[in-house]
Structure 1
Amino acid sequence: MISLFVRLKGFYSERPPAHSLWSSTMSFLRTVLNDSVIIHPPGFYIIGFQTFPYISVYFIFLAFVYVVTVVFNSLVICIIAFDHCLHTPKFLAVVNLAVIDVILNTCTIPSMIKIFLITDNFIPFNLCFVQMYVYYTFVSLESYALAILAYDRLIAICFPLRQNSINTLCSMSCIVGLTWSFALGVTAFTTGIMTRLSFCNSLRVFSYFCDYAPVFRLACNDYTMQWSAASFLTVLILGGPFIFILLSYITILVIVFRMKSLDSRVKALATCVEHIILVAVFYIPLLVIFLIGFYLGLIDPDQRVLSLSLASCIPPCINPIVYSLKTKEIKIRVLALVRKNKISTDPKKCCKNSGL
């Protein structure tokens, strides 16, 4: 019986089946096969944004967001990589965030444009889980990267005299490496257990990508383990770092208000403003969507898809603009680069320098 199913699966994987043909085949398999056989379809159909008018305008906006994300984050990465003066713990954390931002938006935005503008919404089974794995890995890393930046601010403000001994390049490299290893491992487990589900009902995923909860809810066998993993992952990748950031800023505020000089207080708090903006833009929308949508189910499905796509795609775009490029050291190097290009392209300057 299993060999018969494997041949059937191989037949369907040659080309995407019609929905009606797949439904009738699955009805037959449900009556013939027992619960111990896992049914994997050739793929899924990503369904979302169906009720929004002029949705093509939104995807043109997302294409602009993607270009800005890649250009500005790549600029930050190049400036830090090629300037040895910026090879410090703080800028290792900044370049870590920039790399994560580029990969996170690359994972979703090109796929969204293909699905909803070109109307090619079929995604093969294995590719679906690859996208799911990459997306949740880098959402996790984005969350941890913001926590690492909070840790950097905590050490700089609370232990200014011991900053260079506590927050070394080696220790920061270890912290970044641990977060990558942890995110890759935890997401591999939570994505891997999805392959234990049988999909013999609808193949329509109501989201803008192969989203974890909308996919496991399509299963025709028990998905209690997957639901528990999704709850655990939400707490782990959003709740844990967010609580750490809150505690860090509470500690920072206590230290700042103990300072006698008002000028010192203002300077200390000014170094945290951009990071607080990043934290608010990233965590608040995602926490609201997951708490209200995933657990309470009180959010409209279309609004959930739109809100989640914005909450995922906008932070990687604004991170380099709000934080990285406004950092004093990077700003100086960007302005120097712009001035150098102006001088090299000014014909009067070129003529003067050449003695003409």
Structure 2
Amino acid sequence: MENETLDTAVLILEGLMVSPQSSVPAFVILLVLYVFIMVSNMGLVVLIFTDRSLHQPMYLLFCNMSINDAFGASTIIPRLLSDIFLPSSERYIYYYDCVVQAFCAHFHASNTHTVLMIMAFDRYMAICNPLRYATIMTTRMVAGLSVAAWAVSLFLVTILLGLSIRLSRCRRVIFNPFCDNASLFKLSCESVLINNIYGLSYTVVLLGSSLGSIVLTYLRIAMVCLSSRNKSVNSRALQTCATHLAMYIIMIVSGSIIIILHRFPQLSAHRKLASIMFHVVPPTMNAIIYGLQIKTVREKILILFTRNSVTVGDLRVNKL
């Protein structure tokens, strides 16, 4: 009995399956992407919080997305990097470490949906109710929406992982690049019917809510823009909405690819790669989209770099 407990307490994690020749390039690419994700997303958060002119609901809500993106990347990438040069048979992970990673991975994915939903609500209020926007989207409202978005995700994911933790374990190999809920309940030889039912319901509710809110919000925004004759207002509305919509499309496409590939067991390797890309591509693209497409943020970044260049130049002149 003790041997069985020991065996299932230490799992073997498949990790990133690459050939020895591809290990170094894969490591470098992942490391560069991770550094970029952390620097770009956390840099935007610091910029928004330190510049009072950016203390607007749209930017404060985007901080939720940047923090969540950095959190999601940190959940997956460091572990992949640490195991990439190890043989697959030596990639050990403690069961409860695996549970924590699975929880964080699903928490990040759920937050992506809920945060984008409250950002859609913000755009709806700004465009469809501009006269009431300032009185409704107060700092208190922004904080309340942010807490609600994270709390809903926490509640849903806690139940999801709780149903898997209750199961006994008879296997010890995780056939996935990282731990997730499906990998955990597949370790059990018990019936996982309840897990499958809740997992499906969780996906339908979360995906249906986010997709439905985005569609309804943008239909309403489109109707307002079409009925308005103010071209400058419509142009600004389309710019901010296009940024938000691009973020949502990147996220939904990345997630849908994983769901579709689940239906084709022969494409298991492609699904595993897609699951990693879900935690890499959206965090990378979100920072680029917001950092470069929104004029205010772009100007602040350019001023920051210009100031640094001038400072370096002055130091060189003083030394001469």
TM-score normalised by the chain length of structure 1: 0.82
Greater C-alpha radius of gyration? 1
Shift of 1:8: 4.3
Structure 1 residues 121 and 331 mapped into 2: Cα distance closer, same or farther (>3 Å)?
same
Contact 2:160 2:181 in 1 (8 A): no
- Residue 239 of structure 2: aligned partner: 270
- Give 1:143's match in structure 2, choosing from 82, 106, 113: 113
Mean Cα displacement is larger for which, 92-101 or 227-236? Answer: 227-236
Structure 1 residues 206 and 323 mapped into 2: Cα distance closer, same or farther (>3 Å)?
same
| CA–CA separation in structure 1 for the residues paired with 2:284 and 2:218 | 24
Segments of 4+ moved more than 6 angstroms: none
Contact 1:281 1:315 in 2 (8 A): yes
- Residue 232 of structure 1: aligned partner: 201
Shift of 1:271: 2.1
| CA–CA separation in structure 1 for the residues paired with 2:256 and 2:22 | 25
Unpaired segments ≥5 residues, structure 1: 18-40
Partner of 2:283: helix, strand, or coil? helix
| CA–CA separation in structure 2 for the residues paired with 1:150 and 1:54 | 45
- Residue 62 of structure 1: aligned partner: 30
Partner of 1:218: helix, strand, or coil? coil
- Residue 80 of structure 1: aligned partner: 48
Give yes or no for the alignment of 1:185 onto 2:155.
yes
Shift of 1:237: 3.2
Alignment of 1:2-17 (within 5 A): 5=1, 7-8=2-3, 12=6
Structure 1 residues 238 and 299 mapped into 2: Cα distance closer, same or farther (>3 Å)?
farther
| CA–CA separation in structure 2 for the residues paired with 1:91 and 1:262 | 24
Contact 2:160 2:199 in 1 (8 A): yes
- Give 1:90's match in structure 2, choosing from 58, 78, 82: 58
Alignment of 1:312-351 (within 5 A): 312-347=279-314, 351=318
Shift of 1:191: 0.8
User: What is the CA deviation profile of residues 30-58 of structure 1, one whole-angstrom value per residue up to 9, with x for unaligned ones?
Assistant: xxxxxxxxxxx113212255477854233
Contact 1:45 1:123 in 2 (8 A): yes
| CA–CA separation in structure 2 for the residues paired with 1:297 and 1:43 | 30
Mean Cα displacement is larger for which, 160-169 or 111-120? Answer: 111-120
| CA–CA separation in structure 2 for the residues paired with 1:253 and 1:54 | 51
| CA–CA separation in structure 2 for the residues paired with 1:105 and 1:230 | 23
Unpaired segments ≥5 residues, structure 2: none
Structure 1 residues 348 and 156 mapped into 2: Cα distance closer, same or farther (>3 Å)?
same
| CA–CA separation in structure 1 for the residues paired with 2:123 and 2:215 | 12
- Residue 26 of structure 1: aligned partner: none
- Residue 165 of structure 1: aligned partner: 135
| CA–CA separation in structure 2 for the residues paired with 1:166 and 1:148 | 13
Q: Which amino acid aligns with 2:39?
A: V
User: What is the CA deviation profile of residues 307-338 of structure 1, one whole-angstrom value per residue up to 9, with x for unaligned ones?
Assistant: 11112211111211111453222222222211
| CA–CA separation in structure 2 for the residues paired with 1:350 and 1:302 | 56
Shift of 1:293: 3.6
| CA–CA separation in structure 2 for the residues paired with 1:144 and 1:329 | 25
Contact 1:76 1:325 in 2 (8 A): no
- Residue 130 of structure 1: aligned partner: 100
Percent identity between matched residues is 25
| CA–CA separation in structure 2 for the residues paired with 1:179 and 1:266 | 29
Structure 1 residues 79 and 267 mapped into 2: Cα distance closer, same or farther (>3 Å)?
closer
Contact 1:69 1:105 in 2 (8 A): yes
Give yes or no for the alignment of 1:279 onto 2:243.
no
- Residue 106 of structure 1: aligned partner: 74
TM-score normalised by the chain length of structure 2: 0.90
Mean Cα displacement is larger for which, 57-66 or 159-168? Answer: 57-66
Give yes or no for the alignment of 1:243 onto 2:217.
no
- Give 2:229's match in structure 1, choosing from 246, 260, 283: 260
| CA–CA separation in structure 2 for the residues paired with 1:82 and 1:264 | 28
- Answer 1 or 2: which has greater helix percent: 2
Contact 1:43 1:128 in 2 (8 A): no
